[in-house]
Amino acid sequence: MMKYHRIPVGPFATNCILVKDAETNEGLIVDPGGDGDTIADRIRTLGIKPVGILLTHGHMDHCMETSRLSHEFDVPITMHSADLPLYQNLGKQMEALMGPSAAAAFSPDALVEPTGFLDEGDTVVFGKSRAEVMHLPGHSPGGIGFLFRQDPDVLMCGDTIFRDGVGRTDLWGGNWETLLKSIREKVFTLDDDTVLVSGHGAETTVGREKRHFPY
């Protein structure tokens, strides 16, 4: 059984999710997009023993504190290989979305490269807990979600789908039809009571979003 703690961080209020195995206290850092001090303090307060950083995708608002926390807790970074070019160009993303001054504060030389890659059907294990990996392209080519089978199930789905909304597809590598396919053929095939923990905003459920889906 895992427990999770959602922390909105950074200028885009990205949900950094701290996942903790209830028996061993081992845990994961999902999408550390900003406010590294806040994330690190919460990890210590909750007594989490991080064993890895997982990225749902490579957009900068989900990755900006990845290298810093990888160093601080001596843990590896894992993502989908299709989003590696996005991750390796965080500085260019920052310049496009936040301006040259923000990009100037970013040091490419300090970037910690991922050492593992995940794809559909893989499993992430920490402590006595495990997550199934779902490939959810559309918002980005390498978008992935982490499905925890418990009661109810929990899917950490990045920016694929939100409460009353879906991820944008006008950023690098986005594709509208691919996004809808990921939602309809993967997310919406899960049990209706599955909790969706999105990259921004409050939790929702598969059933709720199916009932209100306008596309």
Cα 106 from chain centroid?
21
* CA angle (156, 175, 82) in 5-degree steps: 65
pLDDT of residue 91: 83
CATH class of the structural domain 2-212: alpha beta
Q: State which amino acid sits at residue 78.
A: T
Domain residue extents for the chain = 2-212
Burial 63-89 (b: 16+ CB within 10 A, else e): bbbbbbbbeebebebbbbebbbebbeb
Q: For each of the chain's 215 residues, which pLDDT tens digit applies?
A: 899 999 999 999 999 999 999 999 999 999 999 999 999 999 999 999 999 999 999 999 999 999 999 999 999 999 999 999 999 998 888 888 888 877 777 776 689 999 999 999 999 999 999 999 999 999 999 999 999 999 999 999 999 999 999 999 998 889 999 999 999 999 999 999 999 999 999 999 999 999 999 99
Tell me if 158 sits within 8 A of 139, measured CB to CB.
yes
User: How far, in Å, CA of 142 to CA of 83, rounded?
Assistant: 5
